[in-house]
A and B are shown apart, each in its own frame.
Chain A
Amino acid sequence: MLIQIKNLTKTYQRHDGAINAVDNLSLDIPKGSFVTITGASGSGKTTLLLILGGLLQPTSGKMSYNARELDLLKEKDMATFRSNHVGFVMQSFALVPYLTALENISIALNVKDKDNDKNRKRALQLLEWVGLDDRTTHYPKELSAGQQQRVAIARALANNPDLLLADEPTGNLDPTLSEEILGVLKEINQKQGTTVVMVTHSPAAAEYGDTKIQLKNGKLHTNEKV
């Protein structure tokens, strides 16, 4: 198992009372799998994904990576965990606006390795791989939505993560572009063996997964393997 979570709960305090966005949830994510998470709005999909990626501290529960338990409260460890093992693809692309496509990728490489020339070469390779080698010096606002998402995917792959987390990666894209991006994710999963966990609203997108999870009120509703 790549990731195991046990009795995970995330409680948000709100003015109208506390709410468990993720509620006593346990889940195993096998190495090399492609997991899709669906569920109604507010069912806790994003919350779960953020906890999986070490971006958010759960209120209680345990999580282990490669059978080693993570100290979810140690912020430094979690940042290192993110840079070493996790890649993120967000619905809104999350690119730094004043950095070019190439720079957005190499700034992620720089977290782990300070060799600037090497990082540049690797960033170029990645852009080539997502088919944007002619857009290296473009700024995010000079790229189309699909191109921006490709840059974001290239960045997510920069440090060879074992786990790629995607939160509605096609939410801002039209159906044709969505299919392209989903194809790229599938390819990453199959060719490189990267474990992919993708949150989506679209039933068609959910079909890309080999494990399909549905959340309801922060709890596991269905968990079906194809």
Chain B
Amino acid sequence: MRLIDLTLKELWHRKSQLVSGLLAITLGIGVIVGIRSFSVVSEKAVAVNLDNLGANILVLPQSSSVDNYYAADIDASTFPEEYVEKLVTSTIPGVDNISPKLTRRVKVGNENIVLTGILPKSEIASKPIWQRGGIQGQQAAASCAPSGPKKYADAKLQRKGIDTLANNDCFIGSGIALRLKLKEGSKLTIMDKEFTVAKLLPETGTVDDDRVFANLHTVQALLGTGEQISAIEIMGCCSSISEGLLGKLRNVLPDTRITTIGQIVSTQIENNKLMSKISLVFLIIIVFVGGISIGNYIWGNVNERRKEIGILRMIGYHKRHIYYILVLKALLMGLVGGIAGYILGTLGAMWLGPQFSGIAVSPIYMYFFYSIVVAILISIIGSLIPAYMAGKIEPFSNMQED
């Protein structure tokens, strides 16, 4: 029996007390890991999109919230599809690739997915009146796209270039493919309608990974919305935007909210900054609360173990051995608390992320080590004073009996 065995046995012996001793540190680490996992994904996605989307314009219903770019169109209210025609016929210069969408959250089996209806180019082309917009748009893109064609590699833009999308076909994000175990050619039934997966979209790290794209008119029929849409995406020419394109668009569609993605993204960046600050504040709080709570727990433990510590001293163990078993115990508790906190925070972010902001959060494995290191450091620091006090306990003698 070594001292580490003794420490493990003692931990196990008083395992029910561990829960309360670990609560603060587990929750604390959990909250930080949760916030950080969420905001890292969000920051990364913002960076990608800011880079790629440049001067995109989003037309949303008046009542929609623009706090979160990724989810701005999800479950938003709707406006008539004929607004698209209004836009096209207005012949405002500098408007490219007008792309209407209708988005709703639906369930497939037990999985939540985001169903987005989009119009393929072929259908836009089939409406003579829209063709003009398309041609104009191509010229506009060629003349003022922010920086070259490679920008269009982004999946979000790619899908505007979708040429055909049959009524029974759908495109699916990589997250959906993984969760529902689908591949190209698989069948997918949404609200009793069977779709064929025509294409798997590459991973983007945004809510798009959890989206199913289908033909707008099919989706409208499925959801029973009639000719309604929840957003129009427009490639606007950057110089046109600075020349007051947004104002002109607002004149054409007065009862909508028209904003550039840049504006939405900067709101998002503000949110992310706030999150970072909150997690820093949490980190400071957890260091104090977690350290004090572990220290308090170890202090209670020392008092409970006075006799036993006296016995160890009696049979010849030194003070440093007593420090060792207590600090080791704190270290083990920190380890458990760190692991539990990481799991709690990661699962929490993965579960809550999509619910609140439509962001698919994936685990950040590096935080596993950070969580453990931080939790262990906090626990050890918290245990130092109680361990020091325990060293002062006199060797056992009958006189100390209760």
Contact = CB atoms under 8 A, between A and B. Distances in A.
Interface of A: 46, 50, 55-56, 75-76, 79-80, 82-84, 88, 90-92, 94-99, 102-103, 106-108, 110-112, 114, 116, 119, 155, 159, 167-168
A162 to B, nearest CB: 14
19 contacts: A55-B314, A55-B395, A55-B397, A56-B397, A79-B313, A83-B315, A83-B317, A88-B314, A90-B397, A94-B396, A97-B308, A98-B10, A99-B6, A107-B312, A108-B316, A110-B3, A114-B2, A119-B1, A155-B315
A90 B396 CA distance: 9
A179 to B, nearest CB: 22
Interface of B: 1-3, 5-6, 9-10, 13, 307-308, 310-319, 394-399, 401
B399 A99 contact: no
B308 A79 contact: no
Contact of B397 (A46, A76, A99): A46
Nearest to B11: A98
Nearest to A79: B318
Nearest to A78: B395
Q: Which of B310, B316, B394 has the most CB of A within 10 A?
A: B316
Considering residues B2, B13, B313, B395, which has the most beta carbons from chain A within 10 angstroms of its beta carbon? Answer: B395
Of the listed residues A76, A97, A102, the one surrounded by the most CB atoms of chain B closer than 10 A to its CB is A97
A79 B317 CA distance: 6
Given A55-B395, A90-B396, A80 B308 contact: no
B2 A46 contact: no
Contacts of B5: 103
Contacts of A167: 397-398
Given A75-B319, A83-B317, A94-B307, 10 more contacts: A55-B314, A76-B319, A94-B396, A99-B1, A103-B5, A107-B6, A110-B1, A116-B1, A119-B1, A159-B316
A151 B318 CA distance: 22
B162 to A, nearest CB: 68
Contact of B316 (A50, A84, A95, A98): A84
Q: Chain B: interface secondary structure?
A: helix
Given A46-B399, A92-B401, A96-B311, A106 B1 contact: yes
A56 B396 CA distance: 10
B8 to A, nearest CB: 11
Contacts of B10: 98
B401 A50 contact: no
B13 to A, nearest CB: 4
A46 B319 contact: no
A152 B58 CA distance: 81
A88 B314 CA distance: 8
A94 B2 contact: no
A79 B316 contact: yes
A134 to B, nearest CB: 19
A178 to B, nearest CB: 17
A75 B392 CA distance: 11
Given A46-B397, A46-B398, A96 B314 contact: no
Nearest to A80: B316
B3 A50 contact: no
B398 A92 contact: yes
A116 to B, nearest CB: 6
A165 to B, nearest CB: 10
A220 B395 CA distance: 26
Contacts of B6: 96, 99, 103, 107
A198 to B, nearest CB: 13
A167 B9 CA distance: 29
Contacts of A90: 396-398
Contacts of A106: 1
Contacts of A110: 1-3
A22 to B, nearest CB: 14
A225 B339 CA distance: 66
Given A99-B6, A103-B1, A119-B1, A111 B397 contact: no
A164 B158 CA distance: 87
Nearest to A109: B1
Contacts of A155: 315
B383 to A, nearest CB: 19
Nearest to A107: B1
A108 B2 contact: no
A99 B9 contact: yes
A84 B6 CA distance: 21
A96 B311 CA distance: 7
Nearest to A167: B398
B242 to A, nearest CB: 75
Nearest to B309: A96
A98 B9 CA distance: 7
A99 B312 CA distance: 12
A155 B396 CA distance: 15
Nearest to B311: A94
B85 to A, nearest CB: 80
Question: Residue among A79, A84, A168 with the most chain B CB within 10 A?
Answer: A79
Nearest to A119: B1
B236 to A, nearest CB: 72
A82 B314 CA distance: 7
B398 A82 contact: no
A224 to B, nearest CB: 26
B295 to A, nearest CB: 23
Contacts of B1: 99, 102-103, 106-107, 110, 116, 119
Contacts of A111: 315-317
A79 B398 CA distance: 18
A135 to B, nearest CB: 16
A108 B13 CA distance: 20
A38 to B, nearest CB: 16
